[in-house]
Amino acid sequence: MGRVRVSVVNNIVAPYRHALFEELSALVDLQVLYCAETHALRDWDTGRPQSYPAEVCRHVTVYPFGHPVIVTRDLTSRLRRFSPDVTIVALTPQIALPTVSLMLARIMLGDWALVFWVGNVDWASDDVGAGGLTRLTEWYCRSLAGLADGAMYYSSRTVQWATQRGVLVEPYMVGTQVLPSSGMEARLEPREGTWNVGFVGRPGRRKGFDLLVETIAGLPDQSRRRILLKVYGSGTFKSEYGILNELGVMVRHYGEVPREQLLRAYTSLDLLVLPSRSDPWGFVTNEAMACGTPVLCSKYAGSAALARHAGWIFDPVDEESRVQSLAEALEQCRDRGIRKRAVKAESCYRPASAAARIAKMLCRVVGCGEVLGA
């Protein structure tokens, strides 16, 4: 059997997946289709030219119930021209319903195999709006996977495939080159004194900065006063900063910084906290762990699947357990063993490793029975 033809349908132009797609294109004939343009993301510069074809579909964006939904106009025609053996759809609620609906007829006819990946499908109990849309998406994708013989469904919450063919694989779409090729090393040696705690994100309920503030407020006074909270990202949190100042917590706001500066900032942290109410993945977990910084990660973030190897998982809306989790993380985050495990665990999610997992999975999906690209 020749090289497998694979189309990846991604929700937005995603430069952080470029290195993964490059590795995958060495193993399969790859086409990447983006459903929409997006604002410039952080300057992910892999230093590698693009060798795979990538296109942005014609689309319109509508806003039912205040949530953006992308409707593609020419996705199926682009797929038809490429004629893939298997299509991997990286889904989010914004594109799941209209995009998969357009493809369902072809899948039902058995023209190609379809793999869904919806990232994390869990959400905090106080985030009802996002939860309702996510629940609808999950139900829809599971239903399609049950209807179409060649369809599979995946969620990074379970870290498993639910499929008639029994394919099990790690989260394949998470494969990015976090550290530059040179000039950057993880920090493994512990330091003394103030706890340097980091938060990377923007204002808004989904990222849960307000929950982090409430969690810190629940710590004993002597613990709070040992924390230096470093905040990176666009926007400000004026009301939350006022609360922290009253509690005696030191705060430094750095705003949005260049990517290389952000990576160096991770090495200055003892602990990163990701308190999201809902997050399909959360690449800050990969970034921090690659730099030797353990993560206290929300159970509602897909990257909890990574953080569990060298970090702590917590429920940011559970008042009692979240304080206990933060206290435990602060006491243990300087352990050299934890920091070494963080680096080792993250290395399994880098482009070459992720591409190899995809290749093995695709072999089983299309029944080629051999290593792709060999």
Q: Which structural domains are found in the chain, ordered by start?
A: 5-177+350-366 (3.40.50.2000), 195-347 (3.40.50.2000)
Q: Which range in 139-153, 212-226, 253-267, 358-372 is most confidently predicted, on average pLDDT?
A: 212-226
Tell me if 323 sits within 8 A of 218, measured CB to CB.
yes
Which amino acid, residue 351? P
pLDDT of residue 303: 85
What percentage of the chain reaches a pLDDT higher than 90?
A: 26
pLDDT, one tens digit per residue, over 70-126 is: 777 788 788 888 888 888 777 655 555 555 555 555 555 455 666 666 555 555 655
pLDDT, one tens digit per residue, over 11-50 is: 777 777 788 888 889 999 999 988 877 654 444 555 667 8
pLDDT of residue 181: 43
pLDDT of residue 217: 95
Tell me if 11 sits within 8 A of 90, measured CB to CB.
yes
pLDDT of residue 75: 81
160-162 and 151-155 beta bridge pairing: antiparallel
Beta strands in 180-319 (DSSP E): 195-200, 227-232, 250-255, 271-274, 295-298, 311-314
Distance of CA 77 to the CA centre of its chain: 29
What three-state secondary structure class fits 7? strand
Q: How far is residue 125 from each of residues 175, 212, 318, measured CA to CA in Å?
A: 29, 16, 9
Angstrom distance (rounded) from CA 154 to CA 92: 12
pLDDT of residue 47: 60
pLDDT of residue 203: 76
Q: Predicted confidence band at 258 (pLDDT cuts at 50, 70, 90)? A: confident
Torsion of Cα atoms, 67 then 68 then 69 then 71, to 10°: 160
Q: How far is residue 78 from each of residues 97, 148, 172, measured CA to CA in Å?
A: 19, 21, 23
Angstrom distance (rounded) from CA 198 to CA 269: 6
Q: Where are the alpha helices (DSSP H) in 47-177?
A: 75-82, 96-108, 128-147
What three-state secondary structure class fits 155? strand
Does residue 275 register a pLDDT over 90?
yes
Taking all residues of the chain, what is their mean pLDDT, rounded to a whole number? 75
pLDDT, one tens digit per residue, over 287-330 is: 899 889 999 999 988 888 889 888 999 999 998 889 999 999 99
pLDDT of residue 362: 76
50-53 long-range Cβ contacts below 8 angstroms, 24+ apart: 50/18, 50/22, 51/22, 51/25, 52/21, 52/22, 52/24, 52/25
pLDDT of residue 18: 80
Question: What is the mean pLDDT of the segment spanning 249-273?
Answer: 90
Angstrom distance (rounded) from CA 14 to CA 78: 19
Does residue 165 register a pLDDT over 90?
no
Q: Which tokens sit at 182?
A: 């040179």
Put residue 56 in one of left, alpha, beta given phi > 0 → left and psi -120 to 50 → alpha: beta
Q: Which range in 5-9, 58-62, 183-187 is most confidently predicted, on average pLDDT?
A: 5-9
Does residue 190 register a pLDDT over 80?
no
Does residue 240 register a pLDDT over 80?
yes
Tell me if 302 sits within 8 A of 331, measured CB to CB.
no
What three-state secondary structure class fits 308? coil
pLDDT of residue 372: 39
Question: What is the mean pLDDT of the segment spanning 356-364?
Answer: 76
Q: Which tokens sit at 279?
A: 């997050």
pLDDT of residue 118: 57
Sorted by sequence, the CB contacts under 8 Å of residue 146 that are 6+ apart come out as none
pLDDT of residue 35: 80
pLDDT of residue 99: 58
Residue located via tokens 């991604």 = 10
Sorted by sequence, the CB contacts under 8 Å of residue 270 that are 6+ apart come out as 190, 191, 195, 196, 197, 293, 330, 333, 334
pLDDT of residue 120: 58
The residue among 68 and 110 whose pLDDT is bigger is 68
